[in-house]
Amino acid sequence: MPQGPPPADRVYLDYSATAPLRPEAAGAMTEALAFFGNPSSNHSFGREARNHLTRLRRETADLLQVERDAVIFTGNASEANLLGLVGAVRALPPDRRHVLTTPIEHPSVLNTLQGLQAAAEIELTQVGVDSHGRVAVDRVLQGVRKSTGLISIMLANNEIGTLEPVAEIVSALLGTGVVVHSDASQAVGKTSRAFSEAGAHLSTLCPHKLGGPKGIGILIRRPSVPLQSPLTIGRQEHGLRGGTESLALAAGAVAALRVALDEEPAESPRLERLGAQLRGALRAGFEEVKLHSPERACLPGLVNFSFPGLEGQWLVTALDQRGIAVSHGAACSSLASIPSHVLMAIGASESAAGAVRVSLGRYSTAEHVSRFLSELREVLVEIRGTKFFFRSQDSTKPYSPDPLFRIS
């Protein structure tokens, strides 16, 4: 089972899309394969599998400091968003189906809510964000009506990294009966304190962003929140979804979560330093660069930028040919070169097709970032055919970002 760091001759800087499988996750998955019984079966093999699944659920709850019954395993994070949103809406009384969200949510949230609106199941309001992608608490509260039953605001934006004030919103709505859903797929393992403090009624986690396996997601549901399943009726996961649970995927997800949380106190500041130095190098060395990620209240190690008149996909492809893996934006949109709805929402529509996202992770080093900057410079020279694109320093020496990345 492939695991560990990417090949040494290539540089992977797309951790917001997915992370390499952790050895601990691979080991846990292999061990869990021994429990081949169906957890729903009522014989000894089934009971052994069910007991192991219960242990995994309990460990997840302990790691996230939530109740054991709050943990729901799903097929992926997008399904967790679907289950949380549609399930919450259909459990709301008919007179409380006004929903608030923002225009920068993940497509699995926006598309789901827009689908519910098109089917006349909800009335949807999108609360605007500022130029950094942050929604103001007072604007959210101003949008709340007597008919508001659900609010969905992500904890950390997957394209530009902005951290949203979910904790303040939850606190301000105490006692109102409004359910708050938050997609925390990018936050947990990078800024888990924000997750623990948020206290959302429904939260989505994405294990493969942490170095766990793909094919599994986690929905955290506070016990007081009713859900009506939008999926095929089944007996699994508190009756909210059908299908035999995968112990191997659950085991890999929990192992990755455990290690990521253990590493976070040291890893998060390291990535924050690397990200800050990357932003500084871009500003210092590239004349026309536009930075879209905020400097404060942002995921560590995520930098989104663009150059006027250049398609982001051109840069991504050219860098990939040089062994550098970055992204045009969200992984679900970049393959189709869809302009970024996030950049359009923050008032950077002219850059919506040109964004490049660099997202650092546990195997990222200063040398990787330095190589990225060097290759980016060469790519821009090839595309633009001129070196006047860059900020001048010493006219007798080419620009080199290397000194910025000598970290003790």
> Which residues are the active-site residues?
332
As a whole number of angstroms, the distance between CA 364 and CA 15 comes to: 9
As a whole number of angstroms, the distance between CA 10 and CA 323 comes to: 5
As a whole number of angstroms, the distance between CA 276 and CA 218 comes to: 31
**Cα dihedral 279, 184, 253, 265 in deg (nearest 10):** 50
* Chain mean position to CA 255: 19
As a whole number of angstroms, the distance between CA 86 and CA 94 comes to: 14
Contact assessment for residue 126 and residue 98, using Cβ atoms and an 8 Å cutoff: no
Instruction: Work out the angle at residue 267's Cα, subtended by the Cα atoms of residues 264 and 273, and round it to the nearest 5 degrees.
Output: 135
DSSP conformation letters of 46-61: HHHHHHHHHHHHHHHH
Classified as helix, coil or strand, 166 is helix
As a whole number of angstroms, the distance between CA 213 and CA 205 comes to: 13
Backbone angles phi, psi at 220, to 5 degrees: -100, 120
Q: With 0-12 CB in 10 A as exposed, 13-18 as middle and 19+ as buried, what is 297?
A: middle
How far is it between the farthest Cα atoms of the chain?
78
As a whole number of angstroms, the distance between CA 170 and CA 168 comes to: 6
Strand partners, 357: 304, 327
The dihedral region occupied by 323, where left means phi > 0, alpha psi between -120 and 50, and beta the remainder, is left
Contact assessment for residue 190 and residue 15, using Cβ atoms and an 8 Å cutoff: no
